[in-house]
């Protein structure tokens, strides 16, 4: 009801006092006065409460809406260069930040930006800003797909034909040559922006993560900046001094309830869990099962089951589970010891650029201990930009020169970085230990180190059969480096030590969320399925088999289900042997083909078994509409298997090599040849 309606309905004069008054009687009776007072009181109460509520509402209206116009932001903050990133694991975002930070050394004023947060249809308006430039650091995800945060921008490029005349651009792609669609997103962005009328000011850079992605980026960057200077007629300042992006703030009045303790986004999210769960709000799943799969050998292969009861998380066979690991406590403590730092100091690193969307490099306020344990990557070899910035803290001139040389694009510097850092697998702790004169401030080190990223695993269970449980199959990464140190994979070693119930009776937990995948069983259950997954590549196929078994129980017509699995030795690492043999016995698994590479004199791999069954495989593929699935190592196995299918198409199908390649490519396009691989 509106205010006018309310007043109209209550301000009608009472009939009694206005009709035939008697002189000797008072104008108002006590009852009239009481009723009148009551009405006035109610009106006053209503008016004040209404006013109070109206005063409260504008507080929400006054909240500043998120700025979706990067053009207006650039104009407001006097920027002329914007660097967008398409990033799945954080590397492209990191490269983007480095370019934006370097801009001031080359006469430009840059800002980094997530395309998901801005209206990318405004790209043509970039021409409104003098001497402006858009740079794109675009990673390729999966089978040539854009990363999650670049999907909308990719759709816009595909669907729109807007004129980008006057828009200057450059693209650096991040990919991996072992994948079928190497740098597809970088190539497409570069090509499409030119088709729309944009002006490329420097050639497309293509980073290869199978080689040395850091070296590829540094080499591209070394040539990119001179091209920028030449195009815009600006000069490099020549200033190579360190530029801090964040300032250290040590709060004096600390409310520990507002200090982050490892949460990814929302404060206290691990204490009060609220769906939906995603990368910024992971679910704290309890570990229900953690068992070793292999009976012998020098490796530890494990099967974990995470309980997701009550989380409302849904998953399908073939999806991935992302887990947020925790760094080794001993490494964290040793870094604090070397840097003479009180790791329990509460700090905040605040962006010096007040207009930046990224206020902190990781959730703040927090402690150094939490940052080094939960938020920062302290295990992988540091990138060249970190070494360059750290050089200023080395008191030995030789150490300074070595660090700066490794950060340079010179052949000698690249070679030194490759051998001393990458080949030796030196993490930041090893660098500090092997260069005693290097003693950086801990806050600057925390600013420089990249974020610790979630680790993704193919789910080894079916959501239809186990809706409240997510299974993981993984091998624990551990090996000796050339310096005599033991390198331990962050996530797998952390998961290995997740006992189901701790000594104090608490259940072990893992922060996780589910990421959807295109690795899917055929829509028609009657379609034959050929699964190829050596080692832990068997993971998604355990889910597939569970689901095919469930379909059979539902009375559905389930087609042939064939598995090619490979391991070293039958009595050593035949993963899920009992389960697989039971699937075979029940008729769910039509064929179980296992290649034991080291149980005989000559090594036997899955591709050798495929070749043995080439006639039947060709019939399934060419006549029976079979779907092929490959999971595991991209560098060797997936490539060898694909070459084997080319051979089968030539030898049995009678195709030429060119026709065979085209045939398999067509299967990929139709979704009948799917890959879930890693390198």
Span 509-561, pLDDT tens digits: 999 999 999 999 999 999 999 999 999 999 999 999 999 999 999 999 999 99
Residue 214, domain member (yes or no): yes
**Quick one: average pLDDT of 28-41?**
59
Whether residue 497 has pLDDT greater than 60: yes
Whether residue 157 has pLDDT greater than 70: yes
Q: Is 274 left (phi over 0), alpha (psi -120 to 50) or beta?
A: beta
pLDDT band at residue 55 under the 50/70/90 scheme: very low
Measure the CA angle with vertex 82, ends 77 and 86; round to 5°: 135
Segment 278-297, tens digit of pLDDT: 999 999 999 999 999 998 88
Q: Which residue, 388, 93, 414, 109, is CA-closest to 240? A: 388
Query: Do 551 and 663 share a structural domain?
Result: yes
Q: Which residue, 345, 180, 160, is CA-closest to 252? A: 345
Query: Do 320 and 304 share a structural domain?
Result: yes
Residue 147, domain member (yes or no): yes
Domain final residue, candidates 387, 421, 448: 448
DSSP symbol at 474: E
Say what the pLDDT of residue 499 is. Answer: 87
Query: Do 338 and 311 share a structural domain?
Result: no
CATH number of the domain to which 625 belongs: 3.40.50.80
**Quick one: average pLDDT of 127-151?**
94
Under 8 Å CB-to-CB from 666, ≥6 apart: which residues?
none
Based on its alpha-carbon atoms, the radius of gyration of the chain, rounded to whole angstroms, reads 32
pTM of the prediction? 0.85
Segment 167-184, tens digit of pLDDT: 999 999 999 998 888 999
Residue in the structure block whose two tokens are 């670049």: 150
From the candidates 458, 461, 462, 471, which is the catalytic residue?
458
**Quick one: average pLDDT of 404-413?**
94
**Quick one: average pLDDT of 190-208?**
97
Say what the pLDDT of residue 673 is. Answer: 97
Query: Do 373 and 355 share a structural domain?
Result: yes
From the candidates 156, 420, 550, 678, which is the catalytic residue?
678
Query: Do 209 and 75 share a structural domain?
Result: yes
Domain final residue, candidates 407, 428, 448: 448
Structural domain boundaries enclosing 146: 70-232
pLDDT band at residue 52 under the 50/70/90 scheme: very low
- Residue 643: strand pairing partners: none
Of all residues in the chain, the percent with pLDDT exceeding 90 is 80
Known binding residue 299? Answer is yes
Known binding residue 632? Answer is no
Whether residue 319 has pLDDT greater than 70: yes
From the candidates 216, 319, 633, 676, which is the catalytic residue?
676
Query: Do 673 and 545 share a structural domain?
Result: yes
Query: Do 434 and 458 share a structural domain?
Result: no
Known binding residue 523? Answer is no
Say what the pLDDT of residue 180 is. Answer: 83
Residue 247, domain member (yes or no): no
Q: How many other C-beta atoms can be found within 10 angstroms of the C-beta atom of residue 526?
A: 13
Segment 612-637, tens digit of pLDDT: 999 999 999 999 999 999 999 988 99
Known binding residue 457? Answer is yes
**Quick one: average pLDDT of 458-476?**
98
CATH number of the domain to which 346 belongs: 1.20.990.10
User: Taking the chain, what is the end-to-end CA distance rounded to the nearest angstrom?
Assistant: 65
Known binding residue 364? Answer is no
Segment 260-274, tens digit of pLDDT: 999 999 999 999 999
Query: Do 161 and 144 share a structural domain?
Result: yes
Residue in the structure block whose two tokens are 């675009």: 138
Say what the pLDDT of residue 38 is. Answer: 63
CATH number of the domain to which 501 belongs: 2.40.30.10
- Report the 3 state secondary structure along 519-540: CCCCCCCCCCEEEECCHHHHHH
Say what the pLDDT of residue 31 is. Answer: 54
Instruction: Give per-residue burial for 401-423: e unless 16+ CB within 10 Å, then b.
Output: ebbbbbbbeeeebbebbeebbee
From the candidates 96, 631, 633, 674, which is the catalytic residue?
631
Residue 238, domain member (yes or no): no
Known binding residue 524? Answer is no
Whether residue 34 has pLDDT greater than 80: no
Known binding residue 88? Answer is yes
241 or 625, which is more confident? 625
> In residues, how long is the chain?
679
pLDDT band at residue 51 under the 50/70/90 scheme: very low
Query: Do 304 and 187 share a structural domain?
Result: no
pLDDT band at residue 60 under the 50/70/90 scheme: very low
Known binding residue 180? Answer is yes
H/E run at residue 3: helix 3-10
Known binding residue 155? Answer is no
H/E run at residue 511: strand 509-515
Q: Tell me how far apart the alpha carbons of residues 177 and 637 are, in angstroms, rounded to a whole number.
A: 14
Residue 527: alpha-carbon gap to chain centroid = 33
CATH number of the domain to which 183 belongs: 3.40.50.360
Known binding residue 141? Answer is yes
Known binding residue 586? Answer is no
pLDDT band at residue 4 under the 50/70/90 scheme: very low
Q: Are strands 110-113 and 81-86 parallel, antiparallel or unpaired?
A: parallel
Residue 42, domain member (yes or no): no
Please check whether residue 610 is in contact with residue 620, taking contact to mean a CB–CB distance below 8 angstroms.
Answer: no
Say what the pLDDT of residue 32 is. Answer: 58
Q: Tell me how far apart the alpha carbons of residues 339 and 429 are, in angstroms, rounded to a whole number.
A: 10
Catalytic residue status for 156: no
Q: Which residue, 399, 378, 370, is CA-closest to 448? A: 378
Query: Do 330 and 320 share a structural domain?
Result: no
Residue in the structure block whose two tokens are 């195009």: 231
Catalytic residue status for 676: yes
Residue 564, domain member (yes or no): yes
Does residue 276 have a cis bond before it (omega within 30 degrees)? Answer: yes
Whether residue 44 has pLDDT greater than 60: no
DSSP symbol at 179: S
Query: Do 362 and 319 share a structural domain?
Result: no
Does residue 654 have a cis bond before it (omega within 30 degrees)? Answer: no
Q: Mean pLDDT, the chain, as a whole number?
A: 90
pLDDT band at residue 30 under the 50/70/90 scheme: low
Residue 49, domain member (yes or no): no
Query: Do 109 and 208 share a structural domain?
Result: yes
Domain final residue, candidates 517, 540, 569: 517
**Quick one: average pLDDT of 11-32?**
41
Whether residue 18 has pLDDT greater than 90: no
Structure tokens that stand for 398 in this block: 């030789």
Known binding residue 473? Answer is yes
Residue 260, domain member (yes or no): no
Known binding residue 140? Answer is yes
Of all residues in the chain, the percent with pLDDT exceeding 70 is 89
Mean pLDDT check: name the lowest of 26-40, 134-148, 150-164, 354-368.
26-40
List the beta strands (DSSP E) in 87-238.
Answer: 110-113, 133-141, 145-146, 168-175, 199-200, 205-208
84 or 51, which is more confident? 84
Q: Tell me how far apart the alpha carbons of residues 208 and 203 are, in angstroms, rounded to a whole number.
A: 16
Say what the pLDDT of residue 9 is. Answer: 35
Indicate the number of domains in the chain: 4
**Quick one: average pLDDT of 148-165?**
93
């Amino acid at each position: 009801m509106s205010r006018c309606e309310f007043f109209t309905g209550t301000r009608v004069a009472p009939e009694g006092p206005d009709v035939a008054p008697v002189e000797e009687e008072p104008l108002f009776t006590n009852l009239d006065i009481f009723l009148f007072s009551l009405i006035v009181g109610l009106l006053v109460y209503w008016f004040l409460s209404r006013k109070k509520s109206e005063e409260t509402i504008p507080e929400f209206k006054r909240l500043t809406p998120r700025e979706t116009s990067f053009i207006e932001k650039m104009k407001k903050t006097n920027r002329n260069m914007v660097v967008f990133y398409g990033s799945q694991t954080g590397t492209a975002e990191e490269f983007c930040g480095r370019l934006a930070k370097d801009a001031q050394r080359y006469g430009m004023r840059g800002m980094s930006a997530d395309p998901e947060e801005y209206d990318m249809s405004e790209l043509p308006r970039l021409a409104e800003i003098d001497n402006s430039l858009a740079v794109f650091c675009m990673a390729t995800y999966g089978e040539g797909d854009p990363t999650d945060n670049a999907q909308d921008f990719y759709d816009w490029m595909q669907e729109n034909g807007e004129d980008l005349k006057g828009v200057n651009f450059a693209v650096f792609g991040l990919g991996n040559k072992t994948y079928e669609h190497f740098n597809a997103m970088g190539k497409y962005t570069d090509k499409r922006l030119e088709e729309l009328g944009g002006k490329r000011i420097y050639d497309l850079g293509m980073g290869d993560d199978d080689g040395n992605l850091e070296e590829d980026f540094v080499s591209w960057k070394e040539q990119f900046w001179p091209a920028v200077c030449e195009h815009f007629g600006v000069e490099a300042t020549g200033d190579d001094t360190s530029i801090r992006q964040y300032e250290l703030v040590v709060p004096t009045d600390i409310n520990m309830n507002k200090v982050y303790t490892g949460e990814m986004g929302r404060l206290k999210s691990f204490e009060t869990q609220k769906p939906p769960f995603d990368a910024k709000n992971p679910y704290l799943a309890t570990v229900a099962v953690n068992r070793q799969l292999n009976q012998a050998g020098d490796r530890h292969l494990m099967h974990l089951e995470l309980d997701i009861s009550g989380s409302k998380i849904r998953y399908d066979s073939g999806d991935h589970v992302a887990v947020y690991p925790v760094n080794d406590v001993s490494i964290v403590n040793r870094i604090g010891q070397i840097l003479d730092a009180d790791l329990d100091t509460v700090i905040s690193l605040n962006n010096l650029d007040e207009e930046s969307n990224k206020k902190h490099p990781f959730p703040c306020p927090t402690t150094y201990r939490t940052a080094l344990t939960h938020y920062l990557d302290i295990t992988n070899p540091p990138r060249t930009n970190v070494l360059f910035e750290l050089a200023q803290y080395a008191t030995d001139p030789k150490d300074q020169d070595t660090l700066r040389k490794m950060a340079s694009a010179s052949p000698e510097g690249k070679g030194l970085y490759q051998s001393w850092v990458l080949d030796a697998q030196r993490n930041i702790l090893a660098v500090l230990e092997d260069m005693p004169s290097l003693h950086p401030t801990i806050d600057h080190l925390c600013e420089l180190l990249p974020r610790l990223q979630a680790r993704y695993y193919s789910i080894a269970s079916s959501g239809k059969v186990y809706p409240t449980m997510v299974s993981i199959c993984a091998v624990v990464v551990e090996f000796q480096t050339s310096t005599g140190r033991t390198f331990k994979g962050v996530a797998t070693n952390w998961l290995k030590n997740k006992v189901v119930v701790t000594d104090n009776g608490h259940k072990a937990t893992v922060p996780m969320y589910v990421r959807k995948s295109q690795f899917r069983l055929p829509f028609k259950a009657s379609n034959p399925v050929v699964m190829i997954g050596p080692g832990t590549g068997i993971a998604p196929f355990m889910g597939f088999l569970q689901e095919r078994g469930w379909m059979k129980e539902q009375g559905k017509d389930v087609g042939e289900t064939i598995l090619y699995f490979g391991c070293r030795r039958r009595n050593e690492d035949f993963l899920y042997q009992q389960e697989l043999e039971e699937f075979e016995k029940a008729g769910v698994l039509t064929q179980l083909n296992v290649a034991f590479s080291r149980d005989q004199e000559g090594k036997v791999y899955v591709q050798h078994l495929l070749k043995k069954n080439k006639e039947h495989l060709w019939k399934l593929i060419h006549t029976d509409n079979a779907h092929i699935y490959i999971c595991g190592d991209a560098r060797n196995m997936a490539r060898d298997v694909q070459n084997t299918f080319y051979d089968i198409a030539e030898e049995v199908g009678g195709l030429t090599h060119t026709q065979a390649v085209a045939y398999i490519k067509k299967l990929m396009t139709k979704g009948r040849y799917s890959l879930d691989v890693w390198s």
